[in-house]
Amino acid sequence: MSDRARMPGELIYEHAVQIEQVSDYGVALDRLLSGAATPPAEGARFDFHREGTVPSAKVEGTLNGAPYSAPKRTSMRLAAALLAVVASLVVGPSAALAAAAQHHDQVPGFYGLKVGDLEVTALFDGPGVFDQHWLKGTKARMGEVVKALHEDSHMLDGSETAFLVNTGKQLILVDAGSGTWWGGGAFGRLARSLRSAGYTPEEVDLVLVTHLHADHIGGLTTQDGRRVFPNAEVYVAKAENDFWLSPEIAAQAPKDAQRFFQSAQAIAAPYIKAGKWHTFSGSEPIVDGMHLVPLPGHTPGHTGYEFSSKAQKILFWGDIVHAQRVQLQHPEVTVVFDIDPIAAAATRNQLLPRLAREDVVIAGPHMLFPGLGRLLREGSGYSWTPVPFTDQWVENAPSPQKY
């Protein structure tokens, strides 16, 4: 067949063509190829060309590799039929295309962002939906939430995400996802996402923990007590450590809260045993260019980590927001997991205005993946602006082109 693209009529009348899978239209060819000893079968090849012009065209070629010349009484009809067949392949449904298998593959669960000299990578641990019954507010506010949820069933969609910071000297993981400790198997993809990003768990030097809920530390330890990050030193606020790892406090906790204490203690145990579990109580330096941001309320020692590089900042804010489309517009709404709901709401109301004023990238583990964005003031609340997607890693990225 000619390399030049041609209309169907040109294929028939000017060049030899090859038709495969003729069983799809074999009935028509069987009727026309009455002079052929063997009708076309599945996978048969009919290569032909014409000599002369219609109606005196002579169609000849090979059928299944054997020389063939159509009888005169069928030549013209054969040429017309083949023209129709080729045209149908162009303008009609393609059997080959219709049979193409769906791949069911998705892109790997990571996304990278440059913040000054830091390379920050969001690591997907799994998709999630926040239960409306976990939200707490006034009766009127919750009525609005229920109404909005009926209008948009995806309003409470979110994610489980952890973040990796490559400083050029250290690999620092901020939180570690759920592992198999939370979510009934819906999460636990962190290690796979980490490998897809080009790293291994053994390469992680530090893990900074925002708080000790299982959906933030479950990825540290397997159910049989193996450390997933064997070379990492783990850091957590002392107030957080002393609360969740206290047998005395655990014994006095309500029954439905017992699982949070049990999981925290089991997950921390192998790191404590290995001497790799550390606490901090003030603003002591842990990593160059990073400072601690106490964010109390959700848990006693809930802590954010703000990194700065070349006048650019990124704040890993832990569980400041669980349901972004509710709590950003209504920061007073709390969640059942808040140890001190009043303090949690106060912390949110103090933090969000600063972030909306300053050019700070936010890394939110429960925001829709990749959970990287900025805040804008919107009415009495705030809106979330995700970082713009790019498929290129550019050191000095130019301003986005207008379109």
Tokens of 265: 């203690």
Q: Is 60 left (phi over 0), alpha (psi -120 to 50) or beta?
A: beta
Give the range among 50-64, 109-123, 144-158, 184-198 with minimum mean pLDDT. Answer: 50-64
Q: What is the pLDDT of residues 3-60, one digit of tens each?
A: 434 333 333 333 333 444 433 434 444 444 444 444 444 444 445 444 444 444 444 5
Say how many C-beta atoms besides its own lie within 10 A of residue 22's C-beta: 22
Residues 6+ apart with CB under 8 A from 304: 210, 292, 293, 294, 295, 315, 316, 317, 318, 320
What is the per-residue pLDDT across 149-164, written as a single tens digit (0 to 9) for each?
Answer: 888 888 888 889 999 9
Domain count, the chain: 2
Domain match, 44 and 153 both: no
Same domain, 159 and 300: yes
Average model confidence (pLDDT) for the chain?
81
Q: Tell me, yes or no, whether 122 and 191 share the same domain.
A: yes
Is the residue at 391 inside a domain? no
* 80, 193: one domain: no
Does residue 77 sit in the same domain as residue 125? no
Cα dihedral: 80, 85, 90, 94 (round 10): 170
Task: Give the single-character DSSP code of 225.
Answer: S
Residue 47 within any structural domain of the chain: yes
Determine the longest span between alpha carbons in the chain, in angstroms. Answer: 102
- Residue 348, domain member (yes or no): yes
Contact 275, 324 (CB under 8 A): no
Q: Which two tokens stand for residue 197?
A: 């990003």
Q: Is 71 in the same domain as 32?
A: yes
pTM over 0.85: no
Domain of 23, in residue numbers: 8-94
Report pLDDT digits (tens) over 280-310. 998 788 999 999 999 999 999 999 999 999 9
Question: How far apart are the C-alpha atoms of 240 and 381, rounded to whole Å?
Answer: 29
Residue 328 maps to a domain: yes
159 & 308 share domain? yes
The answer to whether residues 136 and 75 belong to one domain is no
In this prediction, residue 70 has a pLDDT band, given cuts at 50, 70 and 90, of low
- The better pLDDT of the pair 202, 76 is held by 202
Residue 394 lies in a domain: no
Together in a domain, 127 and 89: no
- Please, which residues have CB within 8 angstroms of residue 348's CB and are 6 or more apart in sequence? 297, 320, 321, 327, 331
